[in-house]
A and B are shown apart, each in its own frame.
Chain A
Amino acid sequence: KQEVTQIPAALSVPEGENLVLNCSFTDSAIYNLQWFRQDPGKGLTSLLLIQSSQREQTSGRLNASLDKSSGRSTLYIAASQPGDSATYLCAVSVIRGNQFYFGTGTSLTVIP
């Protein structure tokens, strides 16, 4: 069974700082990997999706990288803002169209 781990569980940074969130998975035979954002009591919003054949994806201040062979992905957030405060989750799918396996998330607080 695929297991997804996210470190750290919580992170607090001052506004303007660049930061990196980590995600690791046990089975490198993935179809794709998605990073999500979740605000308290809300559903998940997709941020970036990386196919298994890709190395990275970028959207605005966000950059996600994938090293499939080592079972790792990172989410880089540049120039953090208080509005970035949320829980960030990564999820991997092993077979196209099948279930995604989620990590437990990193709770990010950006201090003004």
Chain B
Amino acid sequence: DTGVSQDPRHKITKRGQNVTFRCDPISEHNRLYWYRQTLGQGPEFLTYFQNEAQLEKSRLLSDRFSAERPKGSFSTLEIQRTEQGDSAMYLCASSRGRLDVNEKLFFGSGTQLSVL
């Protein structure tokens, strides 16, 4: 396993700009999750995919947020018209889904977004 990869590690943008993050899960992991974490808080669920299907979205995921997972491999999370409140660490995680009865989650190192 090469682990879950996220790119970029850091992103600084100006308010109103669009940003896109990428996540490459562990190969053969069919479930992929996006979480957001602010300083001193635990991760908050945003959305998750089973293969290419987006099965659940949090109410936190406003219309400015969109996530895709074409072909059930890597995933992208796009934030349009960024706001200062979007500043956070965006974490991606994957699991083997039904292949693993434990449903153990593996996290990437995250993308730290700063909106100026």
Q: Which residue of B lies closest to A44 (CB)?
A: B107
B71 at the A interface (CB under 8 A) = no
Instruction: Name A102's contact: one of B42, B102, B109 (CB within 8 Å).
Output: B42
Interface hit among B13-21, B44-52, B78-86: B44-52
Instruction: Name A44's contact: one of B6, B58, B91, B95 (CB within 8 Å).
Output: B91
Contact B104 A46, beta carbon cutoff 8 Å: yes
| Dominant SS among interface residues on chain A | strand
B22 at the A interface (CB under 8 A) = no
Contact A93 B103, beta carbon cutoff 8 Å: yes
B31 at the A interface (CB under 8 A) = yes
* Residue tally, chain A, CB below 8 Å to B: 26
A43 and B104 in contact (CB under 8 A), knowing A4-B42, A100-B45, A102-B42? no
Smallest CB–CB gap between A32 and chain B, Å?
6
Contact B103 A105, beta carbon cutoff 8 Å: no
Which residues of A in the span 33-51 have a Cβ within 8 Å of any Cβ on B? 34, 36, 41-46, 49, 51
Which residues of A in the span 1-51 have a Cβ within 8 Å of any Cβ on B? 4, 31-32, 34, 36, 41-46, 49, 51
Contact A49 B91, beta carbon cutoff 8 Å: no
A98 at the B interface (CB under 8 A) = yes
Annotate B85-116 by CB proximity to A: 1 below 8 A, 0 otherwise.
00001010101011001111111111010000
Q: Which residue of A lies closest to B42 (CB)?
A: A102
B101 contacts across to A, CB distance below 8 A: 51
- Complex CA gap A80/B89 in Å reads 29
Contact A104 B104, beta carbon cutoff 8 Å: no
Instruction: Name A34's contact: one of B4, B44, B48, B104 (CB within 8 Å).
Output: B104
Give chain B's interface residues, CB within 8 Å of chain A. 4, 6, 31, 33, 35, 40-45, 48, 50, 56, 58, 89, 91, 93, 95, 97-98, 101-110, 112
Question: Could you list 5 further interchain pairs (A-B, Cβ under 8 angstroms) beyond the known A4-B42, A46-B106, A97-B95?
Answer: A42-B109, A44-B105, A51-B102, A96-B103, A102-B42
